[in-house]
Structure formats: C-alpha cells, structure tokens
Amino acid sequence: MAKNKHRWKIQLGATIATNPFFLHFFQGKISRGGLKGVCVPGLNCYSCPAAAASCPIGAVQAVIGSSKFHFAYYVVGILILVGVLLGRVVCGFLCPFGWFQELLHKIPTKKFSTKRFHILTYLKYVILVLFVVVLPMTVVNEVGMGDPFFCKYICPAGILEGGIPLSMVDGSIRASLGGLFTWKSCILLGVVVLAVFFYRPFCKWLCPLEAFYGLFNKVSVYRLQVNGDKCTACGACSRVCKMDVEVFRTPNHAECIRCGDCIATCPHQAITKVFSLKNTIGKKESVS
Amino acid sequence: MRKIRICLLAVALLMIGFGLWRGEAEVVLSKGINLCLECVGIG
C-alpha cells in the first residue's frame, strides 16, 4: 500500500511552528505575545502553554460571544482565506490534533472501517452551526456575553494541550478542577481510544473546523484532479483512502484531507494535485 | 469556478479588513493571552 511518506515531516514542522514555547509546559504559563491576535489554521488550543497564536474555532466563539460584536468577520475571513487556498490540506498536514490521532492510529491493533458510520460525518456540521455559532450568539448573560460552547463542552484539545499540562504544574488550577474537567476528560479518553481503532474519529465526526474547510474543498486553489484518459476506475484510490472517499468519482469530496495516499497508490498516475486559480483545461476533475 | 475562487478570496480579505477595523483582533488577543477557563475544563 503506497503512502505519502513525507507528510509526517510537515505535520511535525507545523506542530512545532504553532507550538514553539516548550519551556512554558514546565513553567505552567501561556504565551502572552501579540501573535495571539492571529489564528493558526488548525485546531490548536490557545491555552496550550506552548501555543504561539490562537485557535480559530475558539477565536470565533470569543468574538461572537463578546458583548461588543455579534459576528466574527476577522476570524471567519481568515478561515475563508485559508479554506479557499488550501481546503482540507490544513487537516492533513497542518493540524496538531489531527496528527495526534494519526499517531494513536499507528498503535498496532486491529483497525476498523468507518464506512458504516458515514451518517456521523454530518454531526460535525451540526456542531459547527450549533455550538460554535448559534449558542454563543444567543445564550448570553446579563452583559451580553456568551460562553464558548464548543470549547467548554466538547473540545478535547483544550484538555489535552491546556488542562492536563497546566494542572500538573499549577496547584491552583488543579484545585479548581471539577465536573467539567471530568466530562471533557471523558471525551478526550473516548477520542483517544477510538483513534486507536478508527482513523481520525474526531476529525470525521466532531471537528467544526474540518466541517468548515470541507465546504471549500470543491473550489480550493489546491485540489486533486483525476485524468479521465488515464483512469480505469479500478478503485485502488478508494480502497487506500482512510477518509472513505471514492477519489476517482469525487476527488474533491468534503471529507478528503489531501493526504496524497491516493496519488501514491494510483497504478496509472491518473491523480494529480493542482495549485491554480484557473480551471485546468482538457482534464476531468472526476470520472463518472 | 475561477471567478468563484477570486470572489471568495476578495470576500475573505474584505472580511479580515472589516474585522480588523472593528477591533475584533483585540478581542481575539485578549482571549488568547489569558487562560481560557472553559477550554481547560475549569468553566
């Protein structure tokens, strides 16, 4: 089974680039630099001691839930910009939490297909609309501020990257932990266990960021292309795809994370990646 | 499709500019430099 053997190097580089302050893990503090005013493309909690910039999903909720604003033009603009340029390349190459799940999936056990749970892939769109936008916008306190519902009740990255490391070195944080920490730890534990047996369960079923970027996969500047003259519809690309995409039919499906395994696997070199504003002439983008 | 891509990129840049002009980046910065109690599970 051919694979994109160099992807992990980019994932490692992206994780280090977005989390350069390793010493903060031992000091129990978070970065207070000006870069926290911008967002990284992937899911990376801004309360991670090593984080240099902000999480886009957290930032959307922070702005929408603030008393001053009702919509986050700045952060959503950044997300659209990244989405149109890269689509879900972010998920496959730049997201630390996605890479964390991939590493867990390398633990040698029996692996299971997620195809039968396809219906669950729509859950992340519900979470995006409900927990990231609607609830922070509408459930507000007396001064008009809403909670970041996704960060508070669902996101396991905050516990993994912030809650656990900070509580290990800071007694006051440790003393403040209660039912919410337990609840989110259970979610994290569930994701960890599932990720060992299923490929990227959080990304497929729960991540609102992946839902958002997936909307742009069909129009993104970086995309996949299937050459209809070379493709024999043998299905090798679909069999290797861990995101359950029928690549030769829908190369730019919303679930594709652009990992490139299909490109490396295709026996006819029919799949190529394109980075262009223009439509490519003379080549089909799918084979019917 | 090319026009859609260009339009979306233009919309994104306009939204970023409008959001910066409104001062949204300060809210993001303020949230980011302080410990997010909800994120780490304190509430």
Domains for chain A: give ranges and CATH numbers.
Answer: 7-214 (no CATH), 223-275 (3.30.70.20)
Hey, which residues does A39 pair with through a beta bridge? A54
Hey, are the CB atoms on B43 and A72 less than 8 Å from each other? Answer: no
Q: Which helix (H) or strand (E) holds B27?
A: helix B24-33
pLDDT in tens, A229-242: 999 999 999 999 99
| Cβ proximity of A139 and A132 under 8 Å | no
Look at residue A284 in the predicted model and tell me its pLDDT. Answer: 54
| Residues of A with Cβ-Cβ distance to B36 under 8 angstroms | 45-47, 58, 148, 151, 158, 162
**Alpha carbon distance A41, A18 (integer Å):** 9
Residue whose token pair is 């519902």:
A149
How far does the CA of residue B22 sit from the closest CA of chain A (Å)?
9
pLDDT in tens, A154-207: 999 999 999 999 999 999 999 999 999 999 999 999 999 999 999 999 999 999
Whether the per-residue pLDDT at A1 is higher than 60: the answer is no
Nearest residue, CB atoms, B16 vs list A74, A177, A216 = A74
* Higher local confidence (pLDDT), A286 or A13: A13
List the single residue in B with minimal CA-CA distance to A184: B41
Percent of chain A's residues with pLDDT above 70: 96
Hey, which residues does A223 pair with through a beta bridge? A274
How far does the CA of residue A84 sit from the closest CA of chain B (Å)?
7
Q: For chain A, positions 127-156, list CB contacts with chain B under 8 A.
A: 147-148, 151-152, 155
Percent of chain A's residues with pLDDT above 90: 92
| Cβ proximity of A95 and A7 under 8 Å | no
Closest CA to A94 of A149, A147, A163, A15: A15
Closest CA to A156 of A211, A96, A107: A96
Domain range for B18 is: 2-40
Read off the tokens for A213: 């970027």
**Alpha carbon distance A147, A202 (integer Å):** 22
Q: Which residues contact B10 (CB under 8 A, 6 or more apart)?
A: none
Domains contained in chain B, number? 1
pLDDT category, A4, cuts 50, 70, 90? confident
Nearest residue, CB atoms, B13 vs list A69, A81, A159 = A81
Q: Is the ipTM of this complex over 0.90?
A: yes
pLDDT in tens, A46-105: 999 999 999 999 999 999 999 999 899 999 999 999 999 999 999 999 999 999 999 999
- Alpha carbon dihedral A218, B4, A59, A95, in 10-degree steps, equals 30
Hey, are the CB atoms on A166 and B35 less than 8 Å from each other? Answer: yes
CB pairs under 8 A between A and B: 161
Give the Å distances, CA to CA, from A144 to A66, A136, A141, B19, B26: 7, 10, 5, 19, 18
How far does the CA of residue B34 sit from the closest CA of chain A (Å)?
7
Residue of A25, A31, A44, A47 best to disrupt the B interface, most CBs of B under 10 A: A47
